[in-house]
Chains A and B, each alone.
Chain A
Amino acid sequence: MKMLVRTLDMEYETVSAFAAQAGFKTPSGDLIRRDTRGHLSSGLFPVWVLGGVAVVLLLLTTTGCGKTAAASYRLNMVESAKQRLKPEQEQQVATILAALFGTPDEPIAPSECGLDAAKLHLAAGPVRSDIVGRKNGLYREHCAHCHGVTGDGMGPTAAFLNPYPRDYRPGVFKFKSTERADKPTHADLVMVLRNGLAGSSMPSFALLSDAKIDALSEYVKYLSIRGEVELALMRAFFELDDEDQGRLPEDREFLIEEIVLPVAEAWQAAEDALIDVPEMAADIDMAASIAKGKELFYGNKANCVKCHGVTGLGDGQVNDYDDWNKVVLQAHKTVQGGLEQAGEASTWDMDADEADEHRAELAWLDRFQKVLDGNALPPRTIRPRNLRQGIYRGGMRPLDLYYRIHAGINGAPMPAAKGTVPPEDIWHIVNYIRSLPYDFNGTLGVDKPMVARDRL
């Protein structure tokens, strides 16, 4: 019970002193006490103070001042693991590439590649978008966070995109005006940059100036050539004799003639590999053409429904992979199979050499698995296009559709109709496909709610 007495003129130092005077017992854990010099102090929990100090110290130790190192190219670890390269061999590849192609800030290229140094310079380098009149940094401003600094399609944002951004290193491009196995022309790359790829995360950069688009296309070519050279170098180790002692020759004849030139020439040959597109008859009967196209669509020659489905929704075949994802998928399978096999073997009845080999194999499998976990995106299946959506990645012009059907899509399961389907028939299929988004129960009609379930 407390006392109902005012005590304004009674200055009690502590509750405990007053309580003692009044005969009460104070609860323990009194928040007030006198320190050694007789000053009042509060017994506050040093825990919190220590906590705060700890946080500050933690921050200070983990921060570390200083700039981040310049951006650098990443080695193609999946290929390196596949080729069973040793660290010194990887190092050699990196050195050769640096000598041939420079760094992300300072790109160079062998003259055989035919790349324009000024354009590369404009595209390369660190970016500060606030600096007016800056002379470079385009790639890192617009492309690197998806496509990666190395052009490996593994930038920070890539893992969250569907489909994944393009990995330029194999030198395979899907949407172009050249025959299936050929490289895209400069115009093709510019077109993709300008229009984007409808239905994917690749945006349209039409609002950039022509010079910038040009520079970026050149840089993509540069990264692709560099990636292909890297692959060729890594594969070349397999061809070495014993006397080479696991080192590639570094003379000009080998590097340029045998490695770089084939790659560069393939790119230069693109201009000559354009698909020859015959004219569509000007007086064509569109209705008849669409009907013929439908026949072909469902027919055996073109066999479109196998993948695109009898409804055209792209649900005919959903378990396939594009080439980039196939590489990773295959690698996973290799590692899985290898681990199973190695797990079955027992070192009891092996001699010393065999046991060493077995252990080396396990070590390699383990390394490969780590590489796949850290350096590759999980494989995603590829869906055939939903043709009732009216959204086509490579462009919606009849010309674009002709290219896709004629040459197929390089790197994807879409086959080339060249040779199987004559050119006029391809035009019929194109006309049929272009009618599909407006085809409701077989009639061309106005904007009704989509019959097709929305799948891009």
Chain B
Amino acid sequence: MSTVESTSPAVQESPQTSVAPSHSHAASTAGRLSTFLSTYVFSKDHKVIGLQFLFSTLLWFLVGGLLALAVRWQVAWPWSDVPVLGKLFAQQGGQMAPEFYTMLFTMHATVMIFLVIIPILAGAFGNFLIPLMIGADDMAFPTLNMLSYWFMWPAFIAFGASFFVEGGAASSGWTSYPTLATNVNSSPGSGWGQTLWLVGLTFVGVSSMLGSVNYMTTIILMRAPGMTMFRLPMTIWAMFITAVLQAFALPVLTAAGFMQLADRTIGTGFFSPEGNIVNNAMAGAGGGQPLLWQHLFWFYSHPAVYIMILPAMGMVSDILTTFARKPLFGYRPMVYSVAGIAGLGFIVWGHHMFMSGMNPALGVTFMVSTMMIALPSAVKTFNWLGTIWGGRIQLTTSMLFALSFVSMFIIGGLSGIFMAATPVDIFIHDTYFIVAHFHYVLFAGTAMGVWAAIYFWFPKMFGRTMNEFWGKVHFFLTFVFLNGTFFTMHILGAVGFPRRLADAYHYETFHHLQPLNAFMTYCAIGMVATQIIFAVNFFWSMFYGPVAGRNPWGANTLEWTAPSPPGHGNFDYQPVVYRGPYEYSVPGIEGDHLMQTDPPNQAAAAAAAAAH
């Protein structure tokens, strides 16, 4: 039995009172205000917290997308008059300064990774779905859960404020390598901007840690009766393994962040070599090694990229089965693959450092482990294909996004093999080939998975469905524009077009590449503009969309037995689980699916029918 923490101040213990609204004792404004605050702002209900995460991250998604457009503008038309931002450079006729460009791509990546993708997967969907899908009435630690959301706010403020401090926001890349990031003289953004960046990062890390502890505990201890580990939906497996990844990897990043903060503020020299002079400033304490940061940073950041895709993979598995009306192909191999990706994910971090100056022999070992990590991803892809094989595919918006996740992940995963090959990496490291790879897995992969999940679980969250037609328009335009923007980056990378260059066209090797970059920028603008359709659909449907029942998609997992949206405590009754989550198109039953909570006698009848 799950323990219930009292989450609302107005809960009365006696069971015999009427259902009159319980505001009667809180007649004063202060009372109403405090009720409002504790219900909608400082709520400990996992669904409210999940939605808080969702809205916050979607807002930051907009910020990150606009930063990307500014980057794309400069890459396509370097030194031209930038729309909107040109006002900041009025003296120069709208031409952006080169340090501004370094800040743009740094903050684009930072915002997208730490304020969008990680919180939306773990914070928004993890929070909302985990108790619902395992049959619990809330998380194991609701207060901790609330804290994990509110710990994001100092991060929002730190990152947001960093744009306005002297020198601007951090500009050493989201990877923040020393000595560029540690030495305040090396770049304008390495002053206050970088310090605030580290502060923001720490808060995001703490928030994630709080969340991961909560998720692991909840999933292990609060599953409904009958919900064995191998009856968990893939979403939950993915969330669980992601939480484990976060728990083990984040402390390293936090420690590294503190070390860098110390280097920058109190003059330690963890990452600064002896006698390091930058921009004619006096050398600080030395005796450190820039490569140390890279090792510590990537020890976290490589598992981080799996944190950024595993939940999406899990959700896509659930969505594909629902709309293909078929069981998941190879459930146990899928679970083992997720675990394999996570486990192997801890021993591949050096593949970000092949050219870094670390011992090349170490490069060989990382190359081998990186090659191996391609395997579980391949297994998962084949299993997804097996899942839709022979199905009755309903091409809803959510399904389209889920299918595109599979299609795009194939591209992202295969391009990863190029960079795992160390001799090829000599050429493509720090070129647009890398940019293509990670945008395919993160944007064409995870973000498409996120949209699939939004369209899929929107009815559960808000009690209404989103508009299907506009959803498909959104999908089509996004799909076309994203491929236009990112697929061409592969061949751009094949030329050796470097990353992070404000103007590459003055190199002989690259000066014929501008038209292609202009095309990519047009696609990027189209892609961001398309999201207006999504935003309008999202908010409009929240209030005026067609009302959804409990299970509009005919899915099997536990959340679809709860009302849409669920109230406190989630379920009308304590769910009991009798089977796995993927019993679609079961022969010999009426209807085409058996929910996890459907009583066993029907299944027995089906088994009997099947035995004939």
- State the A residues within 8 Å of B (CB): 2-8, 10, 12, 14-16, 18-20, 23-32, 39-42, 44-45, 47-49, 51-52, 55, 59, 63-65, 67-72, 74, 104-105, 126-130, 132, 137, 140-141, 144-145, 148-149, 155-157, 159-163, 199-201, 450, 453-456
Contacts and interface: CB of A to CB of B under 8 A. Distances in A.
Contacts of A450: 275
B503 A129 contact: yes
A42 B461 CA distance: 8
Contact of A64 (B14, B84, B563, B568): B84
Contact of A69 (B17, B93, B565): B93
B505 A19 contact: no
A70 B461 CA distance: 50
A52 B59 contact: yes
B289 interface: no
Interface in B255-310: 275, 277, 279-283
Given A6-B599, A29-B568, A31-B47, A160 B99 contact: yes
Contacts of B167: 160
A28 B572 contact: no
B95 interface: yes
A160 B19 contact: no
Given A4-B573, A44-B51, A68 B90 contact: yes
A148 B22 CA distance: 67
Contacts of A141: 79, 503
Nearest to A380: B280
Contacts of A3: 573-574
A149 B59 contact: no
B90 A28 contact: no
Residue of A69, A129, A159, A162 ringed by the most chain B CB atoms within 10 A: A129
B95 A127 contact: yes
A247 to B, nearest CB: 28
- What 9 A-B pairs come out closest when comparing CB atoms? A68-B94, A71-B93, A29-B39, A68-B86, A156-B97, A28-B10, A15-B567, A130-B514, A28-B22
Given A8-B597, A28-B22, A128 B87 contact: no
Nearest to A200: B280
B8 A27 contact: yes
A42 to B, nearest CB: 5
A156 B92 contact: yes
23 contacts: A6-B599, A7-B572, A15-B568, A23-B16, A27-B8, A28-B10, A29-B35, A29-B40, A32-B463, A32-B563, A39-B547, A42-B461, A42-B542, A71-B91, A129-B78, A129-B505, A140-B95, A141-B79, A144-B92, A157-B98, A160-B185, A450-B275, A454-B275
Interface in B1-49: 7-8, 10-12, 14-19, 21-23, 35, 38-41, 45, 47-48
A207 to B, nearest CB: 9
Interface in B97-113: 97-100
A105 B92 CA distance: 11
Contacts of B48: 31
Nearest to A156: B97
A25 B19 contact: yes
Contacts of A159: 188
Contacts of A70: 93
B394 interface: no
**A18, A137, A156: which has the most chain B beta carbons within 10 Å?**
A156
A29 B41 CA distance: 12
Contact of B281 (A39, A140, A148, A162): A162
Contacts of B280: 162-163, 199-200, 456
Interface residues of B, number: 94
Contacts of A14: 563, 567
A15 B563 contact: yes
Nearest to A3: B573
B40 A47 contact: yes
Counting chain A CB atoms within 10 Å of each CB, which of B97, B281, B461 scores highest? B97
Contact of B572 (A15, A49, A127): A15
Contacts of A454: 275, 277, 283
A17 to B, nearest CB: 8
B66 to A, nearest CB: 8
B187 interface: yes
B470 interface: no
Nearest to A19: B19
B612 interface: no
Contacts of B62: 55
B79 A140 contact: yes
A25 B333 CA distance: 45
Contacts of B87: 64, 68
Nearest to A454: B275
B51 A68 contact: no
A127 B79 contact: yes
B19 to A, nearest CB: 4
B93 A4 contact: no
Nearest to B79: A127
Contact of B573 (A2, A25, A51, A64): A2
Given A27-B8, A28-B21, A32-B567, A68 B89 contact: yes
B107 to A, nearest CB: 16
Contacts of B66: 59
Contacts of A10: 572
A191 to B, nearest CB: 22
A200 B518 CA distance: 35
B592 interface: no
B83 interface: yes
B84 to A, nearest CB: 5
A51 B92 contact: no
